A and B are shown apart, each in its own frame.
Chain A
C-alpha cells in the first residue's frame, strides 16, 4: 500500500523521509548512501525503505482512468 508512517519493529517515525528517499533513488543515488544521508541508522528502519512496493500508485492510476465507482 502506501509507505508506513512508522517502522514496524522499533516504531520510529520514518514516513516523512519517504519522498526525499524516492527522489534520491530516482536521481540515481545508491539506496545505502541515501539512507545514510537521511540518518536512518537501524537496520529495521532501513529494510522498510528498500523493501517497499508502492501499490497506492497503481490504485490511484486505476481510479484516475475508471473513476472511483462511488
Chain B
C-alpha cells in the first residue's frame, strides 16, 4: 500500500492510500473524531464571578476553548491511577483566570488564562477568544483544570474535522482538518495507533474464546 500526501497546510492535510477499502478510510475517520485524546478545561472552580454571565455558562464557554495538547507527557484520567476528581500532575494541568474591570468596561480573553507553574507547550490555541465582558467593578476569579479527553465523551475534545470523498483524479481522499490541538499528521498517526490496538485486542479476545472452546459450545 502506498500513501500519498496530496496537499498539506498548517491546519489541514489531504491523504490518499492506494488500494485501501472505503471501510478502512471510514474507520480512520471515526477513530480521529472519537478516539484521539486532546486537552480542554474539564473542571472549573468559581472563586468569584460578578460578570453578567452565570457560573455555568461561563464555565461552558471556557470549556470550549481548545488547548494545544501535550500527548506525550500526560495521561487520560481513566488511564491514570490517581482516580482523583481534579487529577494529579500526570493527568491534569492547572490554570487560573483572574480579571477585574476598574473604571472602564473590559473584555476577558483567552490570553488572560494563566498557567500555574510549568505547563510546557499547553496553552489556548489562540490568544483572542472572547470569554466574557465586564462592566466597571465586576470581576471573575476562576481556577481551571485542563485534562485530556475523547470526542466520544464530549465534542469539546473533538480534535478536528475529517471527511472521506471520491476525487476524480486521486480516487478516495482523506481530508483531515485540525482545530489547533494537534498537528493534522499527528491526528492521523494517533488514530491509526489506537485502531491497531483495538484490532490486536479483538484478535486476542477471539483466540482466548476459541481456546476455551466457547465457540464450539455455541455451535452445538
Contacts and interface: CB of A to CB of B under 8 A. Distances in A.
B50 A15 contact: no
B137 A60 contact: no
Interface in A1-37: 1-6, 10-13, 15-20
Interface of B: 50, 52-53, 61, 64-66, 105, 110, 125-138, 155, 158, 161, 177, 179-180
A13 B125 contact: yes
Contacts of B136: 64
B64 A5 contact: yes
A59 interface: yes
Nearest to A66: B135
B138 A11 contact: no
B130 A19 contact: yes
14 contacts: A5-B65, A6-B64, A10-B161, A11-B158, A13-B125, A15-B129, A16-B126, A18-B130, A59-B135, A60-B134, A61-B105, A64-B135, A68-B137, A68-B138
Nearest to A18: B130
Given A12-B161, A13-B66, A59-B52, A19 B138 contact: no
Contacts of B129: 5, 13, 15-16
Contacts of B61: 2, 5
Contacts of B138: 63, 68
Interface in A24-68: 56-57, 59-64, 67-68
A11 B155 contact: yes
B179 A16 contact: no
B99 to A, nearest CB: 14
Given A12-B161, A60-B52, A70-B50, A2 B130 contact: yes
A60 B155 contact: no
Nearest to B64: A5
Contacts of A15: 64-65, 129-130
Contacts of B133: 2, 56-57, 59-60
A35 to B, nearest CB: 17
Nearest to B125: A13
The 3 closest A-B pairs by CB, nearest first: A63-B135, A16-B126, A5-B64
A21 B138 CA distance: 27
Contacts of B158: 11
Contacts of B52: 56, 59-60, 63
A64 B137 CA distance: 9
A48 to B, nearest CB: 13
A67 B66 contact: no
Given A60-B134, A64-B136, A16 B161 contact: no
Contacts of B128: 16-17, 19-20
